[in-house]
């Protein structure tokens, strides 16, 4: 296992998931590639299980460079065995896998105690926000796809909701269902570090979905 941490100046305001984020992530998000989102945050746009970047601070102001051991990746692969029979079942596996991947990563870079939402007072260690969660989940989805574990989905550009619908700004990773072109968000921000994510149709999510 290797871990390198680095910090950089954030291009986002300290008021995370606010004003500037709405300008960056609104508009033509549907035609952007997920690698654009990673690049904007200074993350490696070609992650592999042998080497990938994740945000370990709010706004992705600090970054960890990590890898999965053979044993760790076998744990993730086992989640998709036997192969899901349809896209809905695959999304359920994705939700579980995101939680498992957060657990492995969090033990390495100190983010496992991340609080749900932005309730930092409930967390321990490093805390990340929706910008970082969307990036980290996108990296995880890219790894799942390139390792042949996603058969019914491709990785989408992170979704945004906010002022246009008179709601607080929020970002989330997404997948696109291959057979229909429908977009589903894969949102891990609502929950504490290491908990399964939730998948929900993007339109429902943008209308203000909350698991509570």
pLDDT at 151: 98
pLDDT at 74: 98
pLDDT at 180: 98
pLDDT in tens, the chain (212 residues): 555 565 554 443 333 343 344 334 434 444 689 999 999 999 999 999 999 999 999 999 999 999 999 999 999 999 999 999 999 999 999 999 999 999 999 999 999 999 898 776 665 679 999 999 999 999 999 999 999 999 999 999 999 998 555 467 899 999 999 999 999 999 999 999 999 999 999 999 999 999 87
pTM of the shown model: 0.85
* ∠ Cα 135 140 143 (to 5°): 130
């Amino acid at each position: 296992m290797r871990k390198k941490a680095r910090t950089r100046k954030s291009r986002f305001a300290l008021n995370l998931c606010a004003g500037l984020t709405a300008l960056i992530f609104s508009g033509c998000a549907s035609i952007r590639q997920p690698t654009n989102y990673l690049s904007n945050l200074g993350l490696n746009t070609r992650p592999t299980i042998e080497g990938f970047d994740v945000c370990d601070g709010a706004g992705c102001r600090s970054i960890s460079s990590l890898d999965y051991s053979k044993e760790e990746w076998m744990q993730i692969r086992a989640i998709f065995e036997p192969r899901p029979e349809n896209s809905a079942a695959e999304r359920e596996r994705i939700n579980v896998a995101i939680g498992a991947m957060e657990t492995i990563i969090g033990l390495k870079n100190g983010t496992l105690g991340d609080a749900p939402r932005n309730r930092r007072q409930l967390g321990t260690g490093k805390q990340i926000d929706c910008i970082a969660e969307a990036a980290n989940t996108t990296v995880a989805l890219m790894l799942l796809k390139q390792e042949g574990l996603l058969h019914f989905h491709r990785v989408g550009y992170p979704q945004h909701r906010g002022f246009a619908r008179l709601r607080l700004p929020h970002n989330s990773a997404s997948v696109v269902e291959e057979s229909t072109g429908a977009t589903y968000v894969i949102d891990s921000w609502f929950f504490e570090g290491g908990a399964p994510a939730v998948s929900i149709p993007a339109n429902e999510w943008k209308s203000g979905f909350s698991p509570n």
